[in-house]
Structures are given as structure tokens and as C-alpha cells.
């Protein structure tokens, strides 16, 4: 009788140990570089130091930035700080009267426009740079004043 109970206890103990092992297996994985058993949540293998898992959240970071930009634009539209401008009107103005800062006045940047008049389009450099940057802008484009 005593021996029987002993055996049953042993069996139970073995079963428990097996259960513990299977639980551990759920929380662990094998490193694909060195084959060692490591924690399932590990990104870098503690045994060999190799990266076993892709860093999560790195790809979603730019998306967050885009959302922030949208929020800013919305806020500015409400406050009236952003103006929609036609690209081709600005290009024609810039081409013919850029040295007078015509495109700057069109964008509502009066101070820069006056500056362009007195400096001949920031010594032609600002004029040329504006014309090139206007070429690459979408139509319509948005000006923040
Ligand atoms: Zn490893």
C-alpha cells in the first residue's frame, strides 16, 4: 500500500514537471543563430548577441509624423494662416516679375516682396531659387504666412 502511494506521487511529480516544461516552451524560443533556448520576447539573443527579432514600432514611426503634420495643417487652416495658391500663376509672376518679388506678394509675404524689390530678387539668387522650387511644388500649393 505504501509503495503504491509512493509510485502515484512520483507519477504526479513527473506530470507536474512535464507541465512546467511545456509552459516554459511557450515562453521561450530557439535562437536562429546559435540555437540556444532564449525568452520568446527577446529581440537580441543573450547567448550570442545576434538580433533574432525585427524591432517592432520602427516602421510605424514615420506614420505618426505624417499624422502630426496633418493636425498642424488643420489647425492653421482654422486660424487662417495657410493660403492656397495656384502654382502656375506663381510661376508666371515669378518668371516675369520675380525680381520685383511679385510671387512673394502673391504668396502674401509682403516683407519678402519689398526685400526682393530692393535687392533685385535677393541678388537674382533668391529669384532663381524660388522659380526652381515652384517648379517642383504641387498645384495648388499651400503657403504659411
Ligand atoms: Zn544566439
Range of the domain at 135: 80-144
Report the separation in Å between the CA atom of 76 and the middle of ligand 1, taken as the mean of its atom positions. 51
Task: Tell me, yes or no, whether 105 lies in a domain.
Answer: yes
Task: Tell me, yes or no, whether 5 lies in a domain.
Answer: no
pLDDT (tens digit per residue) in 12-53: 555 454 445 444 457 889 998 999 999 888 889 999 998 888
**Number of domains comprising the chain:** 1
Report the separation in Å between the CA atom of 61 and the middle of ligand 1, taken as the mean of its atom positions. 28
SS3 of the chain: CHHHHHHHHHHHHHHHHHHHHHHHHHCEEECCCCCCEEECCCCECCCCCCECCCCCCCCCHHHHHHHHHHHHHHHHHHHCCEEEECHHHHHHHHHHHHHHCHHHHHCCCHHHHHHHHHHHHHHCHHHHHHHHHHHCCCCCEEEEC
pLDDT (tens digit per residue) in 68-119: 555 555 544 445 578 899 999 999 999 999 999 999 999 999 999 999 999 9
pTM over 0.75: no
Task: Tell me, yes or no, whether 71 lies in a domain.
Answer: no
Task: Tell me, yes or no, whether 8 lies in a domain.
Answer: no
Amino acid at each position: 500500500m505504501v509503495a503504491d502511494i509512493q509510485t502515484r506521487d512520483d507519477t504526479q511529480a513527473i506530470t507536474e514537471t512535464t507541465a512546467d516544461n511545456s509552459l516554459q516552451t511557450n515562453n521561450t524560443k530557439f535562437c536562429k543563430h546559435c540555437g540556444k533556448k532564449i525568452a520568446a520576447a527577446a529581440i537580441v539573443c543573450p547567448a550570442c548577441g545576434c538580433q533574432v527579432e525585427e524591432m517592432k514600432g520602427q516602421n510605424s514611426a514615420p506614420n505618426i509624423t505624417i499624422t502630426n503634420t496633418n493636425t498642424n495643417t488643420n489647425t492653421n487652416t482654422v486660424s487662417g494662416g495657410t493660403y492656397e495658391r495656384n502654382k502656375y500663376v506663381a510661376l508666371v509672376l515669378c518668371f516675369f516679375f520675380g525680381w520685383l518679388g511679385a510671387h512673394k506678394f502673391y504668396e502674401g509675404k509682403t516683407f519678402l516682396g519689398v526685400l526682393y524689390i530692393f535687392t533685385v530678387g535677393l541678388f537674382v539668387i533668391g529669384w532663381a531659387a524660388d522659380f526652381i522650387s515652384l517648379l517642383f511644388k504641387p498645384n495648388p500649393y499651400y503657403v504659411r504666412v
